[in-house]
Structure 1
Amino acid sequence: MPEAEPGQPGDIAVGSDGMVELRLSKFLALYDGDFGDDFLLITSERVRRSIRLVADIPQPVHEMKWTGPESRAPFVEQLREWRARERKASVLWIAEDLFEHLLDEDGAGVKLGAISYNSSEFTPLSLSQYLRIIAGTDYESELAVEGKMLSLMDDAEALVLATPALGTRCVFQHHEAEHWFSFHGPLRYGDQTVLPTGEISTLADGPGAYDRNSRLPIDGEIVIKGSPIIHRGDRSITAEHTADTYTRLAPIEDLPVVAHVRNGYIHDFTAPIPEAKRLRDTFRALVEAEPRYRKIHEFGFGTHPGCADRLRSNFHPNERWPGIHIGLGLGGYTPFHIDLALTEVEVLLDSAEAGMVPLYQTLGLRR
């Protein structure tokens, strides 16, 4: 377990009894300084057994057990009851299940943050790391970073993705990308967010859609080395299959593979060093078994300094690290959505006036 980042609460940890303290007052900033009239904690059984709840806020604190899709109806009914009484609520959802967003009308007057263990095994250690990151986030700083990043990217003609040590270069004509999304700042009423925050991303298609022929304008060679984050496509995909897929791709923590990309489509993988040949073959087998993984469906920019020390596990916050990730596939269309956090790629702003400017260094985010 890495040390907490500077400025993060150091007392969110696993105690000698294996319990994680959840002190609600530490999460006030996440909820924009206002919990509303009621606070609702929703947990699955094993998660709840690992939490020592400290309800040190003035609002009434309610709890609900989550057992799966059948728990959605009573959850929505509780929110409707509060809304009928003109009461606003904040919700923290932590469960070993797939988080499914509420309909807009059901989420009105609600701030909802979710930690999903749908794709990775729940452990008290991983939950304590989640809570450190979330409680230690400077949400106003996040919004400032987002504004500066968007301004820099707006002024740049293109983004260049380079790995000088391996002689690779790739160009992303980001102005041609159409579907942009932001996960920054505190929760406001009507918001529903999978935590932690700290990402800007663009998709080849609109929300929830997948067209095998659509493309992000990315051309060149990209070095895949860093962290794989494997998201189960739906509940029919087993935990064992998910863990096996992560294990097969986990060697990118230590070894590089080069993806050869034309117009957002991966035509081949090569091994820049002899030790990476087996990993290259793993990626080739992946796209041969499911050709839809050849398409780069997502290009994401992580901005959270608290996620800089990535865990060597299938840990969702790894994709929020201060750097880029690419996403292959989409749940419902492929068995997994596979995010690859790319730690060996330098992101450069290609500007006619300033030349090549390093994006993350300019933002002041640690690499």
Structure 2
Amino acid sequence: MPPLEITASDFGQFGDPSGTFCLITDEAGHRTIHCRPGAYDRVLHLTLPPAVSLGALLAQHVPPGAHVLVACPGRFLASPGPEELGDRRLVVLPAGSTPLTAGHVRYFLKTAARTGIARQEALAEEFFDRAADTERLLITDDETGTEAEFDLAAPDCVWNQQAGVLGDGEQQIFPPGKLSVTAAEITAFSADARLGGLTGTLTLRGWPVVHRGADPKDAPGQQRLFEALAPLVNLPVRLDVAGGLITGVAPGQAAAAPAARALDDLLAAEPLYRTVWELGFGINTDTEIIPANCGPNEVYGAGHGVVNLGLGVTPATRFALAFLMPRSSLLASDGTALLGARKAVRRGRMQRVAGAGCGCH
């Protein structure tokens, strides 16, 4: 495979290019990725040694004010603290909790270089402005008729933006493109926290993501669980939710029974998975789904945004699950589509259905 050629100033997530761009990879990436500076003064390509933390490498070897991109497949990276990060701008490809290959890394580096950051910024602003003007959000699946309501007045939820342009001292996922609401601060999982404003029925039908923690002994179980849930790509499974807790799992059709059973067995074995921890909204319209257990799939936004659901957070749970729902729509309380499948149709059809009733890298 020939070396991958990338240009630092193509990554709009950092804002205006200036000074030093730093690319941090593993040894293989140092040999197979070549980064040109473009509009930057220089490129610094560093290798992250196995025994060194990302924060320590930043503090000791990366100049202040640098723009830093990290892509280390198979490595679990703790977010650096404010003193270690300083005024550097940092983006990290989540490459430890799911099995990313070198080919996946190459794909995301190439697609992120053409990601429309200004469009993402506008989508995020529009989303939050419109969400602020509604009392509740509705998640609907027109094919199965399911609806769930998320009451925006519910307490103790935190809105997160992993999209748009970074400022000094900020860090973000790579590639960018996810908005979300979590039951607490995203780095402070609590067994008692849940999205209590969420009630109704959700249809899972799309690629699942199964994250694991740092213990390599969990890798075989991760793969087995992903394979058991993989039929959700095409087959619907319904989740009944009350006050942010999953109360029932049912197949949407007979062929989905094994996937529904696998999920139900997981909930029975570990009640913490019944807690709905996150509602996510992928808005990256410049990437395609990787047909595998791939963490960066969570930013996938199709053409008009994709709803996803998050259950569990490692290490409180053995695995953390995300379910993409590209056939679902997110609506304001007046039936206007904020994102998803119904936003893809012309405005005259958007009002047809009204319903009452949506840290480790």
TM range, smaller chain: 0.7 to 0.9
Distance of 2:251 and 2:293 partners within structure 1: 23
Residue matched to 2:319: 336
Residues 136, 150 of structure 2: 8 Å contact kept: yes
1:311 paired with 2:261, answer no
Residue matched to 1:6: none
**Which residues of 2 match residues 184-223 of structure 1 at below 5 A?**
184-216=163-195, 217-223=197-203
CA offsets per residue over residues 47-88 of structure 1, 9 Å max, x none? Answer: 333323334455232222123352443432224xx34xxxx2
CA offsets per residue over residues 149-193 of structure 1, 9 Å max, x none? Answer: 112111122111122322211111123252111112122211111
Residue matched to 2:4: 20
The residue type equivalent to 1:19 in the other structure is P
SS at match of 1:48: helix
The 1:191–1:237 alpha-carbon spacing in structure 2 relative to 1, beyond 3 Å, is farther
Residue matched to 2:204: 224
1:289 paired with 2:269, answer yes
TM-score (norm 1): 0.85
Give the % identical residues: 24
TM-score (norm 2): 0.86
Residues 328, 341 of structure 2: 8 Å contact kept: no
Structure 1 residue runs of 5 or longer lacking an equivalent are 1-16
How many pairs align? 338
Residues 179, 206 of structure 1: 8 Å contact kept: yes
Residue matched to 1:5: none
CA offsets per residue over residues 292-319 of structure 1, 9 Å max, x none? Answer: 1111001111111113x32211223321
Greater Cα shift, 68-77 or 175-184: 68-77
The residue type equivalent to 1:24 in the other structure is A
1:128 paired with 2:111, answer no
**Which residues of 2 match residues 247-326 of structure 1 at below 5 A?**
247-307=227-287, 309-320=288-299, 321=301, 322-326=305-309
Residue matched to 2:331: 348
Distance of 1:116 and 1:38 partners within structure 2: 23
Residue matched to 1:66: 48
The residue type equivalent to 1:109 in the other structure is D
The 1:103–1:366 alpha-carbon spacing in structure 2 relative to 1, beyond 3 Å, is farther
Residues 303, 365 of structure 1: 8 Å contact kept: no
Q: CA deviation at 1:222?
A: 0.4
The 1:363–1:250 alpha-carbon spacing in structure 2 relative to 1, beyond 3 Å, is closer
Residues 326, 340 of structure 2: 8 Å contact kept: no
CA offsets per residue over residues 106-140 of structure 1, 9 Å max, x none? Answer: 21120111113202333343123212331112222
The residue type equivalent to 2:4 in the other structure is V
Q: What is the aligned-residue RMSD (CA, Å)? A: 2.4
